[in-house]
């Protein structure tokens, strides 16, 4: 069991509230209201801007060149993901100007600032534990939503989003993040500290669930 699986096991209820949220279930079933998805898309774009800052902070917090390169790759992956969001938003009738003019929702602020605070107040391991539910969790959600493969989605209304996170490229990003988390833990984690990290992970998972709920509420 790697560190990520240990963290999930230690915070099982928080984790399930995130990965098994009604937003995820309805998106997988194709029944999620379009307004909810549009609300989510806009806020997720704003969310990713702050996560890019978190990876920039990871560069500053890094003590090795390898860690710096991992942070640089994280920033690049997020910027690529933002390009996806711009394309998706366009297909859902939202222009780049609409996205950038939108105010951050309270749920967006709460989650992103929590992650940034973990990084500012703690070390690189604290920051990556706070990032893990998003970075690695989206890969697990994407994979779970396509048990028979992306081609089986057909003309599913949320096919592009699901395919992005279930696809090989993002799965590779998540796998690399898991290995990096293990490496950081091998260098900096004690068993006593694990409980503190699990608390961070559980809080981040609950904030992810709140983020889904924000999109869900926006579609009502």
Q: How far apart are CA 122 and CA 200, in angstroms?
A: 11
The vertex-117 CA angle with 114 and 120, nearest 5°, equals: 155
Has 89 been annotated as catalytic?
no
Catalytically annotated residue among 81, 140, 164, 208: 208
Q: How far apart are CA 68 and CA 209, in angstroms?
A: 30
Q: What residues contact 166, with CB distance under 8 A and at least 6 apart?
A: 139, 142, 143, 145, 146, 150
Q: How far apart are CA 205 and CA 168, in angstroms?
A: 24
Catalytically annotated residue among 81, 89, 118, 134: 134
Query: 192 phi and psi, to 5 degrees?
Result: -65, -40
Has 118 been annotated as catalytic?
no
The residues assigned a catalytic role are 134, 208
């Amino acid at each position: 069991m790697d560190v990520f699986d240990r963290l999930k096991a230690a915070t099982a209820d928080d984790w399930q509230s995130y990965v098994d949220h009604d937003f995820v279930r309805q998106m997988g079933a194709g029944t999620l209201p379009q307004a909810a998805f549009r609300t989510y898309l806009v806020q997720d774009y704003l969310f990713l801007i702050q996560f890019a800052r978190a990876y920039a902070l990871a560069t500053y917090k890094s003590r090795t060149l390898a860690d710096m390169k991992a942070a640089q790759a994280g920033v690049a992956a997020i910027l690529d993901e933002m390009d996806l969001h711009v394309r998706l938003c366009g297909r859902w009738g939202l222009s780049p100007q609409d996205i950038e003019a939108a105010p951050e929702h309270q749920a967006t602020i709460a989650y992103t600032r929590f992650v940034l605070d973990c990084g500012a107040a703690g070390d690189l391991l604290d920051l990556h534990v706070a990032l893990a539910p998003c970075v690695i969790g989206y890969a697990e959600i994407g994979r779970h939503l396509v048990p028979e493969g992306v081609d089986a989605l057909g003309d599913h209304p949320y096919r592009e989003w699901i395919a992005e996170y279930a696809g090989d490229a993002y799965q590779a990003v998540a796998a690399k993040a898991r290995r990096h988390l293990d490496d950081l833990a091998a260098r900096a984690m004690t068993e006593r500290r694990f409980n503190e990290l699990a608390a961070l992970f559980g809080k981040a998972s609950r904030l992810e669930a709140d983020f889904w709920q924000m999109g869900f509420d926006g579609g009502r």
